[in-house]
Structure 1
């Protein structure tokens, strides 16, 4: 069972955002989390939003095992087994997920750790998998109009690009334009703790 201190700190604030978009009065809602990390987030969300079926995903086998361990330990019955999903691949290869099958897709702290090809893949996949008026929620640190602040985010961006030039904080306006090309619209941007934000995109 992997443990992420960051996930422990931000899980409640992200849950607040999810609660606004996942109506507790509606049954049979389906949410896909892309890159579920340790599994701490998804079981926490599942315990509070019990009317939602949660689908975790992760590339690495150790993380998939951790997710399964969290599911077993918390005894949540509305979280499926994790899928292997590589967002850089065409959405048709995303573990056989069906077109228009998701009410919400969630991506937490992923975009700055992956290539721009994967960022593009996330938006293309979301466009195909989300139902009409479905929501894509992306959480993390971002650049705004080419500017990264405060200093901690600047240092994070520098460190990521030194390790891998294709990684780094994504600019919100670039993501907005990418979304528009994929039938998604940036509906709102929410300031979150620890110099992060939630971007809410809605499918047309």
Structure 2
């Protein structure tokens, strides 16, 4: 079995995110997680919220790590991860909710545009999109730590960067999504919730 990948940030942010998910996803639902990363969030949320079927997804090279977490947890509500690159094939089914954490600033802007353009094909009418991560507002960083984080991102890849909330919300509106809440989270992050009209 492959060694489980580990991200310390998942341990830091999982409880504040779980608090939001408990409120927003309080009924049985099929959830698609875009960019499941290590798989840590998936097992934590699926264990705490057994009424949700938590469908992980990642690029092909990351799926073994996600599966290692799922295999160890042995939860009944976590099917095997889907191979999903936003520019490639998407699932041929609908979900009640789509969740993604710390992905928009890792993807290139064209990939973010593609993600939102493809959402209507997988998100049911009335379904929720829940996005966690940092955002800029009015073209400005919301904190010095986010400005420093941006520099760190750009050093890793020129295509990365903290996204402007207004630009992301415009993509959501084009995809038929309505802003429900933009909630402040610890460490200058946000949890933004949209609903499909």
TM-score category of the 2 structures, normalised to the smaller one:
over 0.9
Which residue does the alignment assign to 1:57? 57
- Root mean square deviation, CA, Å: 1.3
107, 110, 113: which one pairs with 2:103? 110
141, 145, 153: which one pairs with 1:152? 145
SS at 1:111 equivalent: coil
Counterpart Cα distance in 1 of 2:152 and 2:71: 36
Change (3 A) 1:145 1:131: same
TM-score normalised by structure 2 residue count: 0.94
86, 92, 95: which one pairs with 1:97? 92
Which residue does the alignment assign to 2:78? 79
Query: Larger strand proportion, structure 1 or 2?
Result: 2
Deviation at residue 97 of structure 1 after TM alignment:
2.6
Once the two structures are superposed, the pairs formed by residues 35-50 of structure 1 within 5 Å of their partners are 35-50=35-50
Structure 1 runs (4+) deviating above 4 angstroms are none
Counterpart Cα distance in 1 of 2:31 and 2:92: 12
Which residue does the alignment assign to 1:13? 16
For these two proteins, the number of residue pairs brought into alignment is 194
Deviation at residue 158 of structure 1 after TM alignment:
2.2
Deviation at residue 155 of structure 1 after TM alignment:
1.2
Q: Deviation digits for residues 135-184 of structure 1, max 9, x if unmatched?
A: 11110011011110311110111232344332100011111111111101
SS at 2:58 equivalent: coil
Q: Deviation digits for residues 30-60 of structure 1, max 9, x if unmatched?
A: 0000000111000000011111111101114
Which consecutive residues of structure 2, in runs of 5 or more, have no partner in the other structure? none
Counterpart Cα distance in 2 of 1:79 and 1:41: 11
Which residue does the alignment assign to 2:68? 69
1:160–1:167 Cα contact (<8 Å) kept: yes
Deviation at residue 111 of structure 1 after TM alignment:
0.4
Counterpart Cα distance in 2 of 1:48 and 1:151: 34
SS at 1:72 equivalent: helix
